[in-house]
Amino acid sequence: MRMALIGLGKMGANMARRMMDNGVEVVGYNRATEIIDELAAEGMLPADSMLHAVQQLPSPRIVWLMIPSGAPTANALQELAPMLEAGDIVIDGGNSNYHDSQQHGAMLARHDIGFIDAGTSGGVWGLKNGYCLMVGGESEVVAQIEPILKALAPAADRGWAHVGPVGAGHFTKMIHNGIEYGMMQAFAEGFALLRGKEEFDLDMAQISELWRHSSVVRSWLLDLMADFLSEDQELADIEPFVADSGEGRWTVVESVDQGVAAPVLALALQMRFSSQDQQGYGNRLLSMMRNAFGGHLVKEKE
């Protein structure tokens, strides 16, 4: 099977490698050409444009996008649609909003082009361990790309699933990422409390490794944390800044739209916002209010 992969960033490049390792022919295009040359040396068929990539595909053409969500994905689909024919398939494996995916699917359906939204999890470890793929689309369209899904997944019979119609894949991935926020926040708070109990002089690396074995909180996140804590427990060179992706925000908005309580996920997102607040204006106001009504000390900058 041959397919085109548009977008060869860290994740896209490793996906290309995993597919090639599992017998899928990959035609690859990326704006930055260095990675194209690197992957071509590993067996990928290079393309110097999306059109060139499409031209190298047999019918029905299969094109997988791994590019940023929002305008970049929408623009790529608008550019790509005229290059394709009825019966061709486009897969969006990025982190698009599921509402956008529903619109993209409807737009391509007007041209009888199949659309699949594939929520893709696995990060930089996907090349070695495989990717978890949450796939939305029509059953007959998904069936045509099963060999690709099986090549990317940890095994042919697990790690991928057709979860529902167009939009369902990215919706499932959105909720997955919201849960991820909550899990990460819980670990961060717990280990901050462990470290704060100075009288016990607890070893963070020892405890994280301990919990990896038969504990009810064992997880891949804990595995990763144990790995970097074994190298550095102080983390003194790391800024306490945590970025947030769109999916965390979208998950909280979805909870509001549905009227379903999701306080852990919402608070985990708010904590990321707090870490990003370089100005601290709200906290300055709090300090001044305490001073105004209670005469409490205001700590001034040195």
Extract the tokens encoding 212.
């990896």
Pairwise CA distance, residues 132 & 163, whole Å? 12
Element holding 116 (H helix, E strand) = strand 114-121
Note the pLDDT of residue 300. 83
User: Dihedral through CA 258, CA 263, CA 269, CA 275, nearest 10?
Assistant: 160
Extract the tokens encoding 235.
């983390």
Burial group, residue 6, by CB count within 10 angstroms (0-12, 13-18, 19+): buried
- Taking 50 as the pLDDT cut, the residues of the chain under it are none
For the four alpha carbons of 44, 87, 127 and 269, in that order, the dihedral sign comes to: positive
Note the pLDDT of residue 109. 97
Instruction: Work out the percent of the chain whose per-residue pLDDT is above 90.
Output: 87
The residues that are catalytic are 173, 180
Element holding 101 (H helix, E strand) = helix 98-109
112 three-class SS: coil
Return the CATH architecture of domain 174-278.
Answer: Orthogonal Bundle (1.10)
Span 116-150, pLDDT tens digits? 999 999 988 999 999 999 999 999 999 999 999 99
62 three-class SS: strand
C-alpha distances (whole Å) from 22 to each of 19, 59, 93, 154 are 5, 21, 18, 11
Amino acid making up residue 249: R
- Taking the domain 2-164, which CATH number applies? 3.40.50.720
Task: Identify whether the C-beta of residue 251 lies closer than 8 Å to the C-beta of residue 174.
Answer: yes
Span 203-253, pLDDT tens digits? 999 999 999 999 999 999 999 999 999 999 999 999 899 988 889 999 999
Task: Identify whether the C-beta of residue 29 lies closer than 8 Å to the C-beta of residue 4.
Answer: yes
Note the pLDDT of residue 288. 85
Give the residue carrying structure tokens 């994280």: 208
Task: Identify whether the C-beta of residue 113 lies closer than 8 Å to the C-beta of residue 84.
Answer: yes
Residue spans of the domains in the chain: they are: 2-164, 174-278
Task: Identify whether the C-beta of residue 136 lies closer than 8 Å to the C-beta of residue 168.
Answer: yes
Pairwise CA distance, residues 264 & 83, whole Å? 45
92 three-class SS: strand
